[in-house]
A and B are shown apart, each in its own frame.
With several copies, the nearest count.
Chain A
């Protein structure tokens, strides 16, 4: 299964097993349409009807607002922004409403919604490719997850839909692996077996994708794949990297990262989000607080620069962290 298919499968199972689950977003259920911007919901309106796969007006604020209201009234909405960048049109509903209502009610209402955000640069320019993690990790009350494989995508989406909290669910466009005319040209190809049955991956866990002894590389989404490629190249240099996929940013399993750093004494964080104030800054700060004395080298971050996302492929390549940048930055941790 591709990640797009895995996500679809998760939604299908969630809807089959719980009649209160429904989907809302733009172009997600139109007959003869796309199944959202990236084919993820294709066919679901045929299966579950337009009452449960709701094509909304272009009204991001109302999409999230309606999800908040539906969640507080006993449903489990899965809302989609066509591109993650449009969430800024709905930010009040995310930050001031969804995230806070459980607390503001003193625990008397829950807001079990999922907000799916396709993120990542894909040659569409500054308003169609931002990685927006850290706006949400900074907002108490939101869970924030970001799978890097189809297997995780399915299990985490099922867990997210069944979680009683608002969950921001980030999906990287180049990992969808969609088919046909809507496939992203720079897609990462990988095969993972995705079981067809109903399984959940508990939110709040990281996954150690590669074990190593010399440097800990923490990355998410597309960057996990680049970090793994980098690790192979580093290995040729005699550096064995441990690659940790932070598929859940909130809650964050900082313990596993800390333990890894205790072992490797070196930490490199890789993210596609902008450097300043990205989630990597928090991982660095937590490490500087908890594991400072284990470190043999500065904590470094490889991130997108503090510029808006440029469109041209040649510029995007400069912007998005590359395998080469990861390799050279990791190597620099071993400079005498």
Chain B
């Protein structure tokens, strides 16, 4: 995707492709999980695709993203190798980090996707530091930190945002507010409604945006990224969104209601974009279906690659402790 002010049909088709790839990938994994075929843990992002895609569509390849325990969407949107992340989930030698990482620790350094972090909030000061390094080196790269609503309550959020603000670091803080931290509803862990309001505490711009609308995500991200690139400092972007599936493997979501769930599915970002493309912009239904089939094939190839890949050697357990 290329950066542009007016959103073209081409951009929308690319966004549709990426969101579909993420959704279908996650659903495919989910089905395999139900069959007991996925090792380790699993944190999925169905419903949150628009944030990943909208943000990453404004980034250059050499910009860095720092993701979380729920990394698949971000990684795919940044262009990571689907085969390598799938092999990583299966703990294979061909995995993006050789099987050492697992589902929560995906990376693709060739596209600026750093190892995703499973300590909630930890990537906030880290992304800030990368941005400070860019500034120091006179580069116009930016860093992005993804995190959830729950992460906004941890000390690292406070310290990281404040440091970024005083340092005027080229970093964008992307809070995916999906209303829950694991099973805990945001209303029981903070008295505010919009995490974006916390930006004021650091003298930083903060915006609360519909995370189910990829175009809205794109526009807001574009502004923040340009701002950062031009040396005008960080932004806190909060996207209201929802995770359709459980927090992690085997979570039946007993803590939330079906009505709430349905109300978000009704605003599904992929279906919204499909409607826009077909109804408003006259794209043929078939064209989208073809895209989806292409995604499906890519996914199946990735899983096949992963399953066929060799296990890491025992020796590799001892490699790369020190550089």
Contact = CB atoms under 8 A, between A and B. Distances in A.
A77 interface: yes
Interface stretch (B4-12, B109-117, B225-233): B109-117
Contacts of B188: 30, 55
Contacts of B97: 104-106, 108
B101 A104 contact: yes
B40 A311 contact: yes
B156 to A, nearest CB: 6
A123 to B, nearest CB: 4
Contacts, number: 281
A102 B320 contact: yes
B273 interface: no
B100 A103 contact: yes
A104 B133 contact: no
B115 A101 contact: yes
Interface residues of B, number: 81
B150 A58 contact: yes
Most buried by B among A22, A92, A311, A319: A311
Most buried by A among B153, B156, B189, B321: B321
* Chain B contact residues: helix, strand, loop or mixed: loop
Interface string B282-311: 000000000000000000000000000001
Interface stretch (B205-213, B216-224, B248-256): B248-256
A306 interface: yes
A64 B159 CA distance: 11
A20 B163 contact: no
A127 B104 contact: yes
B255 A123 contact: no
Interface stretch (B48-56, B70-78, B179-187, B258-266): B179-187
Interface string B19-51: 000000000000000000001110000000000
B126 interface: yes
Nearest to A35: B183
Nearest to A31: B255
Interface string A36-78: 0000000000000001101111111110111111111111010
A125 B64 contact: no
Contacts of B115: 101, 104-105, 109
B79 interface: no
Contacts of B126: 65-66, 68-69, 72, 93, 97
A310 interface: yes
B174 to A, nearest CB: 16
A124 B64 contact: no
A59 B137 contact: no
A143 B130 CA distance: 22
A318 B184 contact: no
Contacts of B154: 57-61, 89
Nearest to A55: B184
Contacts of A112: 323
Contacts of A93: 122, 125-126
Interface in A137-182: 140-141, 143, 164-165, 180-182
B22 to A, nearest CB: 22
B189 A56 contact: yes
A19 B135 CA distance: 12
B321 A141 contact: yes
7 contacts: A65-B124, A74-B137, A75-B137, A89-B155, A103-B100, A107-B323, A126-B100
